């Protein structure tokens, strides 16, 4: 039997397969520190937890409602995508005068990505222009917030399953940044059918080919998988190896299978 305690400053989550063990631990903590028992988990660090027949749903409805209620941008029109289709943001253009407003809303959107993985690409794109936003950038922020307003109930479904297998997916948009020719890379990890980790980022280096960049992303994804496996094993989840790493670039797969040194 394993008891897991998650602590963030003065907020605590306790989980265990034995209710009596949870009650005993709560009694001990209350005797030592005088804690307040809030019962079944439903809210933690700005995230709402809903219990369904399929598992748990993580959302940020309250935070989203507060962000939209006082929004200073025109979000009356709905948007169907997190980012305008085929849009390539550039550092050139007419400067947007209200830099603080731009930073504030990009920061709010960044916090929202904890439960809105569909916003990851848009937020990483908008975050690159915090120092000097242009009119095109604030227009893109407005589009993203319109999408959030149109899909405010979305979140993450953590599905209950007996088959706890780990899967990783990686991809790269080679040289997608028109000004620096750097690639946008991303990966996501699934435990069973539930997303537990993801990242979308513009690379700090320039790759000479698409398969070179895809291979770099696979390497980064493999490192992340190794860390996640060790963490889950400490939590008592065994038998995760071998982990399937998915990539759609055939040249990268050939390099990964070939043990000969490649520059």
pLDDT greater than 80 at residue 263: no
pLDDT of res. 108? 94
Q: For the chain, what is the mean pLDDT?
A: 88
pLDDT of residue 91: 87
Percent of the chain with pLDDT over 70: 98
Residue for token pair 């496996």: 229
Burial grade of 217 (CB within 10 A; 0-12, 13-18, 19 or more) = buried
Mean pLDDT of the 109-134 span: 91
Looking at the DSSP bridge assignments, the partners of residue 174 are none
pLDDT digits (tens, 9 = 90+) for 180-206: 778 888 888 998 888 988 888 887 778
- pLDDT tens digits, 197-235: 888 888 777 888 888 888 888 888 889 999 999 988 888
Helix axis angle, 135-150 relative to 61-69, nearest 10°?
130
3-state helix, strand, coil in the chain (%, to 5): 40, 20, 40
- What does the alpha-carbon distance between residue 109 and residue 131 come to, in Å, rounded to a whole number? 17
* pLDDT, position 262: 65
pLDDT confidence band for 261 (50 / 70 / 90): low
Phi-psi sector, 46: left (phi>0), alpha (psi -120 to 50), beta:
left
pLDDT of res. 48:
92
Residue 260 has pLDDT above 80, yes or no: no
CATH topology of domain 162-257: Nucleotidyltransferase; domain 5 (3.30.420)
Give the pLDDT mean for 4-11: 90
Query: Mean pLDDT over residues 235-251, rounded?
Result: 84
Question: Hey, which bits of 52-202 come out as E strands?
Answer: 55-59, 156-159, 166-173, 184-191, 194-202
For the cut 80, the answer to whether the pLDDT of residue 102 exceeds it is yes
**Structure-block tokens of residue 18:** 């034995």
Exposed / middle / buried, residue 139 (Cβ in 10 Å: 0-12, 13-18, 19+) = middle
> What are the distances in angstroms from CA 93 to CA 133, 141, 173, 181?
9, 16, 24, 19
Residue 79 in this model has a pLDDT that exceeds 80: yes
> What are the start and end residues of each CATH 3.30.420 domain in the chain?
162-257
Strand partners, 200: 186
> Which of 30-43 are b and which e, b meaning 16 or more Cβ less than 10 Å from the residue's Cβ?
eeeeeeeeeeeeee
- CB-based contact 257:245 (threshold 8 Å): no
pLDDT by residue (tens digit) across 22-60?
999 999 999 998 889 988 889 888 899 998 888 899 999
What pLDDT score was predicted for residue 153?
82
pLDDT of residue 239: 82
């Amino acid at each position: 039997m394993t008891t897991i305690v998650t602590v963030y400053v003065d907020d605590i989550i306790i989980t265990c397969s034995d209710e009596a063990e949870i009650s005993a631990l709560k009694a001990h903590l209350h005797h030592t520190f005088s804690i307040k028992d809030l019962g079944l988990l439903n809210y933690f660090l700005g995230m709402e937890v809903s219990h369904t027949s399929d598992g748990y749903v993580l959302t940020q409805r309250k935070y989203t409602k507060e962000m939209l209620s006082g929004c200073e941008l025109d979000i009356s029109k709905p948007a169907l995508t997190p980012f305008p289709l085929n849009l390539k943001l550039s550092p050139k253009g007419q400067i947007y005068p209200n830099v603080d407003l731009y930073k504030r809303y990009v920061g709010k959107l960044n916090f929202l990505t904890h439960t809105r993985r569909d916003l990851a690409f848009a937020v990483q794109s908008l975050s690159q222009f915090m120092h000097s936003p242009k009119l095109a950038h604030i227009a893109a922020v407005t589009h993203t917030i319109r999408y959030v307003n149109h899909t405010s109930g979305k979140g993450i479904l953590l599905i209950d399953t007996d088959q706890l297998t780990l899967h990783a997916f990686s991809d790269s948009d080679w040289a997608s940044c028109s000004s620096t020719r750097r690639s946008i890379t991303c990966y996501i990890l699934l435990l069973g059918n539930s997303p537990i980790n993801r990242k979308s980022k513009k690379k700090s280096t320039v790759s000479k080919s698409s398969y070179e960049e895809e291979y770099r992303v696979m390497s980064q994804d493999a490192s992340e998988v190794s860390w996640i496996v060790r963490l889950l094993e400490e939590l008592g989840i065994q038998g995760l190896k071998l982990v399937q790493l998915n990539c759609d670039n055939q040249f990268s797969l050939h390099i990964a299978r070939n043990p000969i040194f490649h520059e």
